[in-house]
Amino acid sequence: MTPTLRLVALAAGLALATGAQAQQAPIKIGLMLPATGTFAALGDMIEKGFKLYVQEQGGKLAGRELQYFRVDDESDPSKAIDNVGKLIKRDNVDVLVGTVHSGVALAMAKAAKESNTLLVIPNAGAGDITGPLCSANIVRSSFSNWQPGYAMGIVAGQKGVKRAMTITWNYAAGAETVKGFTEGLERGGGKVIKDLNLPFPGVEFQALLTEIASQKPDAVYAFFAGGAAVKFVKDYAAAGLSKTIPLYGPGFLTDGTIPAQGEAAQGLLTTSNYADNLDTPRNNAFRKSFALTYKANADVYAVQGYDAAQILAAGLNAVKGDLAKRDQMTSAMRKVVVDSPRGKFTISPAGNPVQDFYLREVKGNYNEFRSVAVKALADPARGCKM
Of 54 and 152, the one with the shorter C-beta distance to ligand BEZ is 152
Of 107 and 124, the one with the shorter C-beta distance to ligand BEZ is 124
- 185 burial level (CB within 10 Å; 0-12, 13-18, 19+): buried
CA-nearest of 329, 322, 333 to 25 is 322
Q: Is 173 in the site for ligand BEZ (CB under 6 A)?
A: yes
Q: Is 145 in the site for ligand BEZ (CB under 6 A)?
A: yes
Q: Is 40 in the site for ligand BEZ (CB under 6 A)?
A: no
| Dihedral sign for Cα atoms in the order 169, 173, 177, 178 | positive
Task: State the nearest-atom distance from the C-beta of 160 to ligand BEZ, in Å.
Answer: 27
Q: Is 101 in the site for ligand BEZ (CB under 6 A)?
A: yes
Number of chain positions touching ligand BEZ (CB under 6 A) = 12
Q: Find the binder of ligand BEZ among 164, 225, 265, 312 (CB under 6 A).
A: 225
**Window of 21-29, 100-108, 206-214, 339-347 that interacts with ligand BEZ by CB under 6 A:** 100-108
Task: State the nearest-atom distance from the C-beta of 180 to ligand BEZ, in Å.
Answer: 12
**Window of 96-104, 130-138, 156-164, 329-337 that interacts with ligand BEZ by CB under 6 A:** 96-104
Of 102 and 330, the one with the shorter C-beta distance to ligand BEZ is 102
Q: Please, are residues 107 and 128 in contact by the beta-carbon 8 Å criterion?
A: no
Of 149 and 190, the one with the shorter C-beta distance to ligand BEZ is 149
**Window of 66-74, 118-126, 263-271, 333-341 that interacts with ligand BEZ by CB under 6 A:** 118-126
Q: Please, are residues 105 and 99 in contact by the beta-carbon 8 Å criterion?
A: yes
Q: Is 305 in the site for ligand BEZ (CB under 6 A)?
A: no
Q: Is 373 in the site for ligand BEZ (CB under 6 A)?
A: no
Task: State the nearest-atom distance from the C-beta of 101 to ligand BEZ, in Å.
Answer: 4
Query: Residue 288 to residues 141, 277, 366: CA-CA distances in angstroms?
Result: 21, 12, 15
Q: Is 127 in the site for ligand BEZ (CB under 6 A)?
A: no
Q: Find the binder of ligand BEZ among 232, 252, 286, 369 (CB under 6 A).
A: 252
Binding site for ligand BEZ (CB under 6 A): 39, 100-102, 123-126, 145, 173, 225, 252
